[in-house]
Amino acid sequence: MASEDISLNDSPQPIVQAVASEAAHVFSKGVVEQIRLIAGLGVEGDAHCGITVQHRSRVARDPGQPNLRQIHLIHAELLEELDTQGFSVSHGQIGENITTRHLDLLALPVGTELHLGPSAIVRLTGLRNPCHQLNRFQEGLMAAVLDRSSDGALVRKAGVMGVVTASGVVRAGDLITVRLPVAPHRSLEPV
C-alpha cells in the first residue's frame, strides 16, 4: 500500500512562516532568509547538523546514536497561544529551525514526510521533549508547552523533530505538502 498525501479540502495551504539556524550550541536560533537542508545531516551550518546525535545531553549519554533530531519544526499557532498567556516568543527563539502555519504538526504520525519548497523533504521522527532550558529563557514557559489530554495523558506541544531525506533550500513562504506514511500510523513520541 502506498503512502498518501493529505487532502486539505477548504483548509489553508500549509506554509513555512520562518526559518532559523545557529552554528553555536545556544538555546535560540537566528531567523535567516533561507536554510539549506542536507539529506542525512540536517540544516547546513546548524549546531545540530550531523549523522549522529548533536544535542549535548544526548552526546554525553551516547555520542554514536543516530541523529533523529536533525531538524526542529514548530507551529506558529503555538507561539500565538503562548502570547495570549503572556509569553513573548518569536521565531527561532525556542530552538526551532522551521516555523509552520496551517499545519497541526503534533497530530501527524511518525514517518510523515513534509515536502518543503521545491525539493526538500523532512521525515518526522518524534516530538520535542520540553526541557528546563525553556524556563531559563522565560520563567514558566516549560509548563506552558505541556498540557493534559481529556484522559490525563501528557501532551507535549513544543514541536516535532525530523530527519532530512531530500536536500533543498527552504524559505519563508514556501508551501508544505504533507505525505502520510503507510498505515497503520504510530503517534509521535518524544525522541
Structural domain boundaries of the chain?
A: 4-180
Query: What digits encode the pLDDT tens for the residues 14-26?
Result: 999 999 999 999 9
* pLDDT value for 5: 63
Sign of the CA dihedral running 123, 77, 25, 47: positive
Looking at domain 4-180, what is its CATH homologous superfamily?
PK beta-barrel domain-like (2.40.33.20)
Q: Which residues contact 81 (CB under 8 A, 6 or more apart)?
A: none
Q: pTM score, two decimals?
A: 0.93
Q: Residue 57 to residues 25, 61, 62, 111: CA-CA distances in angstroms?
A: 11, 7, 9, 24
Burial class (CB in 10 A: 0-12, 13-18, 19+), 77: middle
pLDDT in tens, 144-181: 999 999 999 999 999 999 999 999 999 999 999 999 99
The model's pLDDT over 88-142, given as tens digits with 9 standing for 90+, comes to 999 999 999 999 999 999 999 999 999 999 999 999 999 999 988 999 999 999 9
What three-state secondary structure class fits 11? coil
Tell me if 96 sits within 8 A of 45, measured CB to CB.
no
